[in-house]
Amino acid sequence: MELTFWDRIVRAFQYDHAIWHNIFLTIIYVIAAACVFFAIRYIRGLIQKKERFSIAAFLSILIGPLVFPVILFLILSIALGGASSVTPGQNMVAFKTSDGEDAIALSTANFLANETGRYGTHGRTRYYAVALSPETGEEIWQTKLERGGEAELLGKTGDKLWYFTGNGLQVIALKSGKTLAKTTDFKGIQNQLPKQYKNYIVKNQFVYFKGLDGQFYQINPKNLTGQVAKGGIQATDFPESSVSGKRFETTQITTNPGNNQLVAFLSDKEMQSIQSGGDIETDLENERSYLYETKFVEQNKVAVSPEQKVSPQAFIAGEFILDPNKKRPPNDAFHKLTDFESQVTDTNSSSYSADYIRFARLTGGLGLSTSSKYLPLTTSKGDWLIWHCETTEMASNLKLSAFNPKTKTVSWTTDLHTSSISNTARQGDKLTLLSNGYLLEINLKNGDLKGYSFENDRFFSKKPE
């Protein structure tokens, strides 16, 4: 996915966001046009005078004037182009275009280098609202955001996208990318717009913010008017951090409804502590773990048998992805299977208290609180999705696998080519992932990956392993 030297040369002769580059490139093209004109004139003169053609004279006219400016242009373009970068924001919105095609809207920070050397790289950053096709990486529209600081997508209301620009708000039409309103257009509340992302939120098709006077305000997306909020918002609704993406919830423990047992990721270290009867502490490091199908309780004690391993495949830091749209029913077997007291027959035993604590530490460390809320994210084929790492290193690339709980087999595994995911969105059997440098789309039926590299402005596709 990295650009080759030839790719960088080809990229240099394409227009981009750098003004100096576009002016220099235009001058190159003008000189080239002039060289072609004089070369053709030279040939016509030879024909009229019936003189002998000289290849050296022809090349000196056609190429000579271009040599120095082109070499200088390539040196500057490759050097500064390599120092420039495009970084996506952490938030995104999935929508359908007017043609019914899938699209993703987000913000990008485009850093354009104008100087690089021993004292570092200098330049400027401009922020844009962008809509891309996750299928091809093709740009659908791009709109320059107001200057003011770090920009980020807040969310969507109807057919409008709301962006924080560092100085206030900018509203953009979802389908066309046209700017509908800027900070100065919000008459009456303009002076109350905060300059921190965490003081804005999109909720129930309204935009709320904490005014500079300490009051909560709401903006009606239909007429873009604002007023002091009379309800529907409270301080706890606003994000605690400046920018945070939206990722799926994950857990290391869930239940297989087919046989009324728990399915959990356990490392060899965790298995040893369970079998030894000592204190149980779940692994916090990126260790190899295996899937076990068990009840965690046998003869009134915490127990897991090696024979309960359901698959020989190891997962490094494996976790099930949960579906926030599918809440776990109150009568689900999971609740009983994670209640130690309901599974033992002798609560007066001398070892009951110790085993109760061991059971609570084990299930709690595996993600009991999260898994009790939601069911696993399931594909149309009935597979569960599993995050896991490629290696035990902290910055390891992530992988995504589909596990069939009925056949207890892995249907496919795909390398995501990134070590972090900031945002996720699912549309049918397509899962879109946003990372610090890529927009990825995975076909959940077969694991095929399509991706777009923001840094290299390149689309790529990969088959599962």
Strand partners, 441: 432, 450
The whole-number pLDDT of residue 450 equals 93
Query: Considering the domain boundaries, does residue 245 fall inside one?
Result: no
Spatial separation of the C-alpha atoms in residues 382 and 318, rounded to whole Å:
19
Same domain as 387, residue 345: yes
The whole-number pLDDT of residue 10 equals 81
Would residue 260 be called left, alpha or beta, if left means φ above 0 and alpha means ψ between -120 and 50 degrees? left
**Boundary of a domain, candidates 37, 66, 83:** 83
Strand partners, 297: 302
- Helix/strand/coil percent split, the chain, to 5: 25, 35, 40
**Boundary of a domain, candidates 83, 116, 136:** 83
Query: Considering the domain boundaries, does residue 264 fall inside one?
Result: yes
Q: Please give the radius of gyration of the chain, using alpha carbons only, rounded to the nearest integer.
A: 29
Same domain as 261, residue 175: no
Same domain as 169, residue 94: yes
**Boundary of a domain, candidates 193, 209, 237:** 237
Query: Considering the domain boundaries, does residue 123 fall inside one?
Result: yes
Same domain as 102, residue 67: no
Query: Considering the domain boundaries, does residue 360 fall inside one?
Result: yes
Give the closest residue to 9 by CA, choosing from 82, 109, 86, 92.
82
Same domain as 374, residue 284: yes
Question: Domain total for the chain?
Answer: 3
Spatial separation of the C-alpha atoms in residues 336 and 332, rounded to whole Å:
8
Of all helices (H) and strands (E), which one includes residue 369? helix 368-371
The whole-number pLDDT of residue 110 equals 86
How many Cβ atoms sit within 10 Å of the Cβ of residue 288?
17
CA 182 to chain centroid? 27
Same domain as 167, residue 45: no
Query: Considering the domain boundaries, does residue 243 fall inside one?
Result: no
The whole-number pLDDT of residue 390 equals 93
Reduce the DSSP state of residue 249 to 3 states and report it.
coil
Edge-first strand listing for the sheet containing 458-462: 423-427, 430-434, 438-443, 449-453, 458-462
The whole-number pLDDT of residue 283 equals 63
Q: Check which CATH number belongs to the domain holding 194 and give it.
A: 2.40.128
Domain extent at residue 285: 250-462
Would residue 358 be called left, alpha or beta, if left means φ above 0 and alpha means ψ between -120 and 50 degrees? alpha
Same domain as 170, residue 99: yes
Spatial separation of the C-alpha atoms in residues 104 and 92, rounded to whole Å:
6
Query: Considering the domain boundaries, does residue 244 fall inside one?
Result: no
Same domain as 127, residue 46: no
Same domain as 152, residue 73: no
Spatial separation of the C-alpha atoms in residues 65 and 174, rounded to whole Å:
47
Reduce the DSSP state of residue 57 to 3 states and report it.
helix
Rounded to 10°, the helix 64-83/19-49 angle is 160
Longest dimension (CA), the chain: 117
Query: Considering the domain boundaries, does residue 137 fall inside one?
Result: yes
Same domain as 48, residue 183: no
Same domain as 400, residue 279: yes
Distances (CA, A) of 77 to 8, 25, 65, 113: 9, 10, 19, 10
Query: Considering the domain boundaries, does residue 288 fall inside one?
Result: yes
Per-residue pLDDT of the chain (465 residues; tens, 9 = 90+): 566 778 778 878 888 777 878 888 999 999 999 999 998 988 888 888 878 888 888 888 888 888 898 888 888 877 776 666 788 998 999 999 988 889 999 999 988 766 666 666 667 789 999 999 988 888 999 999 998 788 999 999 999 999 999 889 999 999 999 999 999 898 889 899 999 888 999 998 899 999 999 999 999 888 888 899 988 888 888 877 665 556 678 999 999 877 789 999 998 888 888 888 777 776 666 689 999 999 998 888 888 999 999 988 999 999 999 998 899 998 888 999 999 988 888 888 888 888 898 888 888 888 888 888 999 999 999 999 999 999 988 889 999 999 999 999 999 999 998 988 988 888 889 999 998 889 999 999 999 999 998 888 888 999 999
Same domain as 94, residue 72: no
**What's the pTM value of the predicted model, to 2 decimals?**
0.79
CB 147 within 8 A of CB 128: no
CB 16 within 8 A of CB 47: no
The whole-number pLDDT of residue 389 equals 93
